[in-house]
């Protein structure tokens, strides 16, 4: 694959990953899902930045339960 084609392919893959994550999300913060979808798709030439902002700011993260066999963090 030519190096010049690598950047658009990576951009499409990044947008696809962000949209897939957005569709699977039960809830998002600050914007409705359609707003995040527009931002992730790169309206306004924000292809990498829209996805980064969604994953950093808009995605709701739930705390992970501790693994079995490990001591609690505050012991």
Per residue in 4-52, pLDDT tens? 888 888 888 988 999 999 999 989 989 999 998 988 887 656 678 888 8
Is residue 48 situated within a structural domain? yes
CB 21 within 8 A of CB 59: yes
Q: Using alpha carbons, select from 32, 11, 8 the residue that is nearest to residue 22.
A: 32
Tell me how crowded residue 22 is: count the other CB atoms within 10 A of its CB.
Answer: 20
Count how many domains the chain has: 1
Q: pTM of this prediction?
A: 0.71
Q: Using alpha carbons, select from 60, 23, 59, 14 the residue that is nearest to residue 41.
A: 14
Q: Would the pLDDT of 66 be above 80?
A: no
Residues 6+ apart with CB under 8 A from 14: 47, 48, 51
Q: Using alpha carbons, select from 62, 1, 51, 57 the residue that is nearest to residue 30.
A: 57
Range of the domain at 53: 27-60
Is residue 75 situated within a structural domain? no
């Amino acid at each position: 694959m030519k190096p010049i084609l690598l950047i658009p392919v990576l951009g499409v893959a990044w947008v696809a990953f962000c949209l897939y994550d957005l569709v699977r999300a039960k809830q998002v913060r600050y914007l409705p899902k359609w707003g995040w979808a527009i931002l992730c798709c790169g309206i306004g030439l924000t292809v990498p930045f829209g996805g980064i902002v969604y994953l950093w700011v808009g995605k709701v993260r739930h705390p992970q339960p501790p693994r079995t066999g490990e001591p609690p963090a505050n012991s």
